[in-house]
Amino acid sequence: MKYLETYDLFPSLIQKYSITNNSVILEDIFGDNDLGDHDLLIASKRSKESYVLDNYVDLKGHIQEAINIYATKIGISPIKISQSWYSIAKNGGYITRHTHPGSVISGAYYPFIETGQTFFAVENPNPDEVWNNLTKYNETAHDFELSTDDLLIFPSRLNHFTDPNQSGTRICVSFNTKYAD
């Protein structure tokens, strides 16, 4: 048999950026005494506001720039941030497995990780099979090691989660997107 070609079809693009954060968002988050709960958060709290980035124009601009690069790379129409919120996890806190229905791409920006690093997992969207050896095509989930000021952008349809936090206080600013008008 003659080997012809290999095709990597329908890959899921995930991009990681490092963003310089000159906003006062951390000061505001640490000063927020009116946090709420959410079904997806375990031993963590969340902002009650769903448009947090609207208050931090420079930071929102940096994130939107990364979104624009992502959208161009995958060849879709322009998209923009539609919702944004933050969560605070102490040791043991985590975010359960979920997707973001109605959003095009989503992202997680970590302006503060007390120990400097944390992990964020994205699941393989392909069905489980019986595998002989682990490859990039069959890993169940991929853990991304993130540092303070890292931004991870991914398709909203992918299941994702965090393991129980072991990094002290961890702050994550999350967002959804929609197609630009």
**4 lies in a domain?**
no
pLDDT, position 127: 66
**133 occurs within a structural domain:** no
By residue range, what is the domain housing residue 68?
15-126+139-179
Q: What is the pLDDT of residue 131?
A: 73
Farthest CA pair distance, the chain: 68
In this prediction the pTM is: 0.93
- As for how many domains the chain has, the answer is 1
Residue 105 within any structural domain of the chain: yes
Phi-psi region of 141 (alpha: psi -120 to 50; beta: other; left: phi over 0): beta
Residue 170 lies in a domain: yes
Q: For position 64, which CATH number holds?
A: 2.60.120.620
Question: What are the helix (H) ranges across the chain?
Answer: 25-30, 57-74
Is 48 inside a domain boundary?
yes
The 3-state DSSP class for residue 24 equals: coil
Which residues lie below 8 Å from residue 20, measured CB to CB, with a gap of 6+?
A: 62, 149
Sheet of 141-147: strand order equals 141-147, 117-123, 160-161
Label residue 16 exposed, middle or buried (CB < 10 Å: 0-12, 13-18, 19+): middle
The pLDDT of residue 39: 94
CA dihedral 145, 117, 95, 110 (to 10 degrees): -100
In a domain, 160, yes or no: yes
Each residue's pLDDT expressed in tens, for the chain with a length of 181 residues: 788 888 878 889 999 999 988 789 999 999 999 999 999 999 999 999 999 999 999 999 999 999 999 999 999 999 999 999 999 999 999 999 999 999 999 999 999 999 989 999 999 887 667 777 878 778 889 999 999 999 999 999 999 999 899 989 999 999 999 999 7
CA 94 to chain centre: 13
8 in a structural domain: no
Whether 10 is in a domain gets the answer no
Specify the pLDDT at position 22.
78
- CA dist 161 and 144 (Å) reads 11
- Looking at residue 138, its pLDDT comes to 81
